């Protein structure tokens, strides 16, 4: 490509080291679309003959089709996807192909390709996310009245509905959808026409090419246009948060599937056995998702570190952005894709959840609230309830089983109605505050998320 300036060919090891086609070939579609828009813009501006433009566009469409059908393979001896497409075009149509790179550089070309690639992938990821949210919401609806202990510090805290617990994840993932949307909106400006870094002397129309490629406008500074990778980092942080959320749910599913909890059972088709222990059923999918979270964080840190201290404008370091980005995209897609059916087929063991909720004094807050409603200051009620809990632990019984005579030794405010007030159904049913755990509150959350998914 640069034969003019160089007397010698690149050393073959250096050539391999320098080359990116083995991974940037993923962006062939975006690269070809970008080139078509560029050629048409050049023609519209009178920089390129209509006839040359027709040949170029025809040639590029042919290359795209042949790559898609498998009639054409990438030439791994080319340095990158941009060089490959241009070389193949020139091989096919001759001199007109050599005119395509007028008023353009690989620096703005790669910057526009990555944006378009990420735009397409973010759409796919958003669709997968929405599917998972929909499945979580369906599970939540089915289990909106199933009572389970809610935990803080992984200690039984207060009774909640399992639907309420699941809806917490729906909210997290819904924010992730919003984050992808925000990042996509900020990214959707075309750097094409920034050229190497300084712009061009040709009378180009950047906005024309940008509009053809579906961008909302152009980047306003050509140096920034070719050297900005903020959008990659924004998406990688959004992907990291998605993975963080999936890893938290994974961890819970792993715990819930354990013999100690037995709150859920994953379908056989999403679990594995052990090669030696015949009784085992392992939550490998959830464990892998939890594990792959580290990998996506690594991709984010790769890019942050890559960009740190880089002088303007383009530096070859930036070629290293793609593998990390592609890896994160593939990983997130795989994880979302496996998670949705895993949740859909997960069996909820409501009886075990209820049994667990009956132990652990998770209605103690409600007992204190009972006294407070009868006029006792909350702190005093809290103290008495603590003493009663201690007595129950001593007697190896639960609050619901302690006789009324025992209660009345602490205060005459206790009457028989206390048992109704501290039943799990009451504890859950009375928590009707917005966002709370009652069936009505959870149904409102479900409605909210379903509406957001449709919007
Ligand atoms: N393969 C390069 C990359 O991915 C394309 C841009 C190369 N530009 C350059 N001046 N060497 O970053």
Read off the pLDDT of residues 330-343 as tens digits, 9 standing for 90 and up.
999 999 999 999 99
Catalytic residue status for 82: no
Average pLDDT over residues 214-231: 98
The whole-number average pLDDT for the span 135-156 is 97
Check pLDDT > 90 for residue 95.
Answer: yes
Does residue 38 carry a catalytic annotation? no
Q: What is the pLDDT of residues 6-63, one digit of tens each?
A: 888 889 999 999 999 999 999 999 999 999 999 999 999 999 999 999 999 999 999 9
**pLDDT of res. 7:** 83
**How many residues does the structure list for the chain?**
455
Residues 43 and 100 sit within 8 Å (Cβ to Cβ): no
pLDDT beyond 80 at 2: no
For the cut 90, the answer to whether the pLDDT of residue 278 exceeds it is: no
State in Å: Cα 110 to ligand 1 middle.
7
**Long-range Cβ contact pairs of 15-20 (< 8 A, separation 24 or more):** 15/79, 18/79, 18/316, 19/76, 19/78, 19/79, 19/80, 20/79, 20/80, 20/81, 20/319, 20/322
Distance of CA 210 to the CA centre of its chain: 27
For residues 221-227, give the mean pLDDT.
Answer: 98
H-helix or E-strand containing 161?
strand 155-161
Beta bridge partners of 158: 150
Indicate whether 275 pLDDT > 90: no
Pick the CATH number of 107-195+225-354 from 3.40.50.620, 1.20.200.10, 1.20.1090.10, 3.40.190.10: 1.20.200.10
Ligand 1 contact, 226 CB (< 6 A): no
Q: How confident is the model at residue 4 (pLDDT cuts 50, 70, 90)?
A: confident
Average pLDDT over residues 65-82: 97
With b for 16 or more beta-carbon neighbours within 10 A and e for fewer, the 127-159 pattern comes to ebbbbbbbbbbebbeebbebbbbbbeeeebbbb
- pLDDT for 274 equals 80
Backbone angles phi, psi at 413, to 5 degrees: -65, -25
- Residue appearing with tokens 């996506």: 296
pLDDT of 255 reads: 97
- 50-82 burial, b at 16+ Cβ within 10 Å, e below that, comes to eebbebbbebbebbbeebeeeebebeeebbbbb
Nearest-angstrom CA–CA distance, 82 and 31? 7
109 lines ligand 1 (CB under 6 A): no
Contact in structure between 156 and 360 (CB atoms under 8 Å): yes
Residue 61: predicted pLDDT: 98
Mean pLDDT for 61-86 is: 97
Residue 165 pLDDT:
98
Query: pLDDT: is 226 or 276 the higher one?
Result: 226
3, pLDDT greater than 80: no
Q: Give the position, in ligand 1's atom list, of the atom nearest the Cα of 318.
A: 12
In terms of Cβ atoms closer than 10 Å to its own Cβ (0-12, 13-18, 19+), residue 447 is exposed
Is residue 281 over pLDDT 90? no
Ligand 1 atom nearest residue 196's Cα: 10
pLDDT confidence of residue 16: 93
Compute the distance from residue 105 Cα to the ligand 1 centre, in Å: 9
Measured in Å, residue 331 CA sits from the centre of ligand 1 at 25
pLDDT of residue 219: 98
Fold matches, 107-195+225-354 and 356-448: no
pLDDT at 388: 97
Give the pLDDT confidence of 282-319 residue by residue, as tens digits.
899 999 999 999 999 999 999 999 999 999 999 999 99
Residue 19 Cβ contacting ligand 1 at under 6 Å: no
252 against 279, higher pLDDT: 252
Domain 18-102 architecture: Orthogonal Bundle (1.10)
Q: Is 20 in the pocket of ligand 1 (CB under 6 A)?
A: yes
> Is residue 24 lining ligand 1, measured as CB closer than 6 Å?
yes
Query: How much distance in Å is there from the Cα of 80 to the middle of ligand 1?
Result: 8
Domain boundary assignment for the chain: 18-102, 107-195+225-354, 356-448
Is the pLDDT at 99 greater than 80? The verdict is yes
- Which residue is catalytic, options 12, 153, 275, 433? 153
CATH-assigned architecture of domain 356-448: Orthogonal Bundle (1.10)
Q: How confident is the model at residue 250 (pLDDT cuts 50, 70, 90)?
A: very high
- Tell the residue nearest (CA) to atom 2 of ligand 1: 319
- pLDDT score of 142: 98
Measured in angstroms, how far is the CA atom of residue 72 from the centroid of ligand 1? Answer: 23
> What value does the mean pLDDT of the chain take?
96
Given this model, what pLDDT does residue 272 score? Answer: 85
> 384 pLDDT exceeds 80?
yes
């Amino acid at each position: 490509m640069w034969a003019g300036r160089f007397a010698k060919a690149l050393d073959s090891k250096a050539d391999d080291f320098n080359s990116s086609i083995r991974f940037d070939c993923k962006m062939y579609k975006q690269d070809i679309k970008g080139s078509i828009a560029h050629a048409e813009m050049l023609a519209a501006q009178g920089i390129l003959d209509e006839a040359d433009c027709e040949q170029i566009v025809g040639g590029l469409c042919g290359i795209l089709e042949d790559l898609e059908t498998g009639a054409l393979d990438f030439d791994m001896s080319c340095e990158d996807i941009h060089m490959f497409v241009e070389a193949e075009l020139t091989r096919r149509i001759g001199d007109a192909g050599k005119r395509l790179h007028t008023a353009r550089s690989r620096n703005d070309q790669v910057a526009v390709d990555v944006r378009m690639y990420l735009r397409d992938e973010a759409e796919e990821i958003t669709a997968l996310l929405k599917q998972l949210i929909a499945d979580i919401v369906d599970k939540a609806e089915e289990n909106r009245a199933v009572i389970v202990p809610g935990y803080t510090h992984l200690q039984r805290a207060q009774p909640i509905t399992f639907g309420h617990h699941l809806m917490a994840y729906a909210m997290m993932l819904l924010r992730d959808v919003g984050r992808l949307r925000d990042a996509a909106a900020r990214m959707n400006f075309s750097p094409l026409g920034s050229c190497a870094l300084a712009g061009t002397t040709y009378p180009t129309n950047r906005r024309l090419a940008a509009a053809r490629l579906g961008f909302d406008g152009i980047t306003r500074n050509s140096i920034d246009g070719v050297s900005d990778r903020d959008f990659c980092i924004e998406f990688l942080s959004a992907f990291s948060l998605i993975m963080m959320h999936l890893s938290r749910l994974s961890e819970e599913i792993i715990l819930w599937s354990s013999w100690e909890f037995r709150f859920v059972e994953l379908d056989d088709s999403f679990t594995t056995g052990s090669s030696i222990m015949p009784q085992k059923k392992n939550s490998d999918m959830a464990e892998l998702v939890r594990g792959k979270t580290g990998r996506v964080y690594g991709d984010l840190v790769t890019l942050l570190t890559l960009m740190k201290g880089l002088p303007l404008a383009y530096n070859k370091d930036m070629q290293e952005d793609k593998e990390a980005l592609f890896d994160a995209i593939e990983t997130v897609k795989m994880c979302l894709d496996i998670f949705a059916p895993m949740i859909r087929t997960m069996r909820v063991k409501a009886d075990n959840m209820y049994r667990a909720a009956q132990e652990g004094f998770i209605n103690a807050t409600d007992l204190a609230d009972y006294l407070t409603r009868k006029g006792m200051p909350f702190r005093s009620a809290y103290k008495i309830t603590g003493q009663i809990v201690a007595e129950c632990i001593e007697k190896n019984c639960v609050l619901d089983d302690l006789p009324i005579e025992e209660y009345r030794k602490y205060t005459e405010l206790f009457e028989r109605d206390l048992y109704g007030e501290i039943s799990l159904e009451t504890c859950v049913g009375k928590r009707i505050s917005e966002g709370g755990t009652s069936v009505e509150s959870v149904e409102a959350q479900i409605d909210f998320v379903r509406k957001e998914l449709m919007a």
